[in-house]
Amino acid sequence: MARIGLLIAVVGLGWLAAELGGLRGLEHSSAYVLFSSLLLAIGLYGSTHGIDRTEAREHTRLIVLAVTVGVILKTAFIAGVVYLVSHDPRSLIMAVVVAQIDPLSVASVMRDDRLSARAKTILGAWSSFDDPVTIILAVYAAALVSGSEHGGQATAYFADLGLNALFALVAYLVWRLVRNAPPVLSYVAAATAIVSAAWSSLMLGLATAGLYLRLPDSRWLARVVSTAFALSAFLMGLLLVGGANMGMGVLLGLAAFAAQMLAALVLTHGLPVIDRVHLGLAQQNGVTAVILALVFERDLGGFVAVIAPAILTINLVHVVANRTADAWGPRRPHEALPSSPQ
């Protein structure tokens, strides 16, 4: 709940600054485009850098299902509901933006006993892979929509797959050179990769690089990602000076939460009921959804006005639903205590 309050406060400060300063049309500046791309690159690198490769190998089947069946199922459900109600052509991109489970938000769940150890591992792996996959999917979904509206330019976006592969290869070769060198070179290599990907829009290559271009101390990256989240929330507030589309936002948020329940029902067969319940109520959004909203605002006017209340709705429903489940839902059986000696 404190995280939600902080998000609201930072967004509110951004809105107040824009209102008092008379800021309008910020999303059309070239500096905005580059800065939002940089924030996206930081969030994406942070997502893939945080993936535990050992854990990934142990849960390959679940991860593959989550990032294929799970992502497709959730996106199709959200987009279908939103489009049926609103007939908004942006429904598909909106669905992808809010479909992922934010791994930073999930980290707070790992500190309590709501889930079994197995379910925590599943949720951690799910959110870690779900996040970068939906970022890439959102970028290419937007490219397809843009291409279809401008005379079939979508093929041009698929041509950059080769450039992404080249980017990933160069990053790998650099990692081989610096992995046994002084630690500062690893930080320089990572920073260079992030800035280069932001400038060239080679996000798929950066996502791949994050799996092996690792930092000696990930605490620095956590601080950078947290700073990027704060900056993106403030920037979102600046863009909300024109108002928020509460009706569409609430609809999108409720659809996203329901989609997670549907996906969990399909993917968690065989787990205890309490774990299935909490995995179904695990939908949260954070830095990724905020930054993606900023990235798409320039080409899809009013996008932030919908995504901002959707994020708030999802996180508020998450808190209420989980507290309700804790109070009234199934409980994890406690181990029997040994009887005291007579």
Instruction: Write down the domain spans for the chain.
Output: 26-135+217-328
Distance CA 248, CA 300 (A): 15
Rounded CA-CA distance 85/254 in Å is 13
Phi, psi (5° rounding) for residue 314?
Answer: -60, -45
Residues sharing a CB contact under 8 Å with residue 2, sequence separation 6 or more, in sequence order: none
Judge whether 43 and 228 are in contact, CB under 8 Å: yes
CB 143 within 8 A of CB 300: no
CA distance 26 to 304: 13
Rounded alpha-carbon distances, angstroms, from residue 215 to 35, 100, 127, 185, 192: 23, 25, 21, 10, 13
pLDDT score recorded for residue 115: 67
CB 71 within 8 A of CB 95: no
Q: Is 242 helix (H, G, I), strand (E, B) or coil?
A: helix
For residues 50 and 103, the answer to whether their CB atoms sit within 8 Å is yes
Three-state DSSP at 331 gives coil
How many whole angstroms separate alpha carbon 197 and alpha carbon 191?
Answer: 10
Separation of alpha carbons 125 and 268, rounded Å: 13
Write phi, then psi, for 264 (nearest 5 degrees): -65, -40
Which pLDDT belongs to residue 143? 64
Instruction: Scan for tokens 């993917």, then name that residue.
Output: 267
Instruction: Give pLDDT, residue 338.
Output: 43
Dihedral angle sign, alpha carbons of residues 237, 35, 168, 50: negative
Alpha-carbon separation of residue 302 from 101, 139, 249, 276 (angstroms): 23, 17, 11, 36
In contact, 256 and 280? CB cutoff 8 Å = no
Per-residue pLDDT of the chain (342 residues; tens, 9 = 90+): 556 777 788 888 888 887 787 777 777 777 787 888 888 888 888 877 777 667 667 667 777 777 777 888 888 999 999 999 988 888 888 998 898 887 666 666 665 566 677 777 777 777 777 777 777 777 766 666 655 554 444 455 556 677 888 888 999 999 888 888 888 998 999 999 999 988 887 888 888 888 888 888 778 888 888 888 888 888 888 888 778 889 999 999 999 999 999 988 888 777 778 878 888 888 888 777 888 888 888 777 788 889 989 998 998 998 888 888 777 766 655 444 444 444
State how far the Cα of 259 lies from the Cα of 284, in Å rounded to an integer. Answer: 12
**Distance (Å, whole) CA 216 – CA 157:** 34
Sign of CA dihedral 206, 60, 104, 7: positive
Q: Can you read off the two tokens belonging to residue 126?
A: 């799910």
Residue carrying the six token digits 């992922």:
100
Are residues 36 and 291 in contact, defined by beta-carbon separation less than 8 angstroms? yes
What is the reported pTM? 0.78
As to burial, measured by CB atoms within 10 angstroms (0-12 exposed, 13-18 middle, 19+ buried), residue 117 is exposed
What's the rounded Cα separation, in Å, for the pair 241 and 248?
17
Q: Which token pair is 243?
A: 């108002």
